[in-house]
Amino acid sequence: MSNELVFLIMTIFVLSSSLLAFRLGKVWLYSFIAINIILANIFVTKQFNIFGIAATGGNITYGSIFLSTDLLCEHYSKREGRKAVYIGFFAALFYLGTSQLILLFTPNEYDLAHSSLIRIFSFAPRIIFASLIAYMVSQLNDIWLFHFIKEKTSGRFLWLRNNGSTWVSQLIDSITFNVVAFLGTYPFKIVLQIILSTYILKLIIAAIDTPFIYLSYIVKKKAEPIV
C-alpha cells in the first residue's frame, strides 16, 4: 500500500473520529484533542515521504486538532475553544514530563523496552519548547480568526472561516516551530524548506477536513449526552 493511500485513509479516519467525538459531546472533543496532542508528539518520530515531500506521522493527528477546535467554536463558543486549547496544552506538558521521568528508571535485566523508549522520548529541550509555543500561538490565533471571519461575514461562508483560520494558523505554527527549534542549527535555506514542505501537507489536511465541518450540522445533537 502506497504512503499516499495510507495518508488519505488515516486522515479520513482521524477526522471522522473528531466528528464522532463531537457527536458524543464537547467533553469528548476535549478528550480527543488531549489524545491527539499526545499522539502527535509520539508519531512525529515516524518519518516518511508522500507526494515527494518529507513528512512525519504527527501531521495528521496534529492537524485534526484544528478541526476539533473549529467544531467547538462553531457549535459552542470561543470560550469553549480556548478551554480546549488549554486542556491540550496541559496534556502536552503532562506527557512530556512523564515521558522524561520514565527514562530515569534504571532497567533491570528483563527489560526489553528501555532502548526503544529512549529513541521515542529523548526530545531536545529546544524542540519541546518550540512545540509548546507553536501550539499555543497557532491554536489561539485559529480561534480568534475563526470568530473574526464569522462576525465579518455575518455567519455565512463556513468554508471560508474553517479554511481561512486554519491556513493562517498552520502557517504561524510551521514558522514558529521551525524557527524556534532549528534556526541557528540549520542554515536558513534548509529551515525555509522544512517550513514550506510541512505547510503544504497541513494545507492538504485542512482541505480534506472542510466537508467534515459541514457534516457536523447533520450529526449535531440537540442536547448534550450525560457524561
DSSP of 173-208 = HHHHHHHHHHBTTB-HHHHHHHHHHHHHHHHHHHHH
Domain boundaries, the chain: 3-219
Phi and psi of 27, rounded to 5°? -60, -35
**Torsion (CA) 63, 65, 68, 72 in degrees, nearest 10:** -130
In this model, does residue 224 exceed pLDDT 80? no
Please state whether the predicted TM-score (pTM) of the whole model is above 0.75: yes
pLDDT of residue 227: 40
- Contact call for residues 160 and 153 (beta carbons, < 8 A): yes
Specify burial of residue 133 (Cβ count, 10 A radius: 0-12, 13-18, 19+): middle
In this model, does residue 226 exceed pLDDT 50? no
Side chain identity, residue 94: F
Q: Which fold has domain 3-219?
A: Arp2/3 complex 21 kDa subunit ARPC3 (1.10.1760)
Q: Which three cell numbers stand for residue 42?
A: 509520539
Closest CA to 205 of 2, 67, 35, 23: 67
Give per-residue pLDDT as tens, 89-100.
999 999 989 999
Give per-residue pLDDT as tens, 102-139.
999 999 999 999 999 998 888 767 888 888 999 999 99
In this model, does residue 80 exceed pLDDT 90? yes
pLDDT of residue 217: 92
Give per-residue pLDDT as tens, 190-212.
888 888 888 999 999 999 999 99
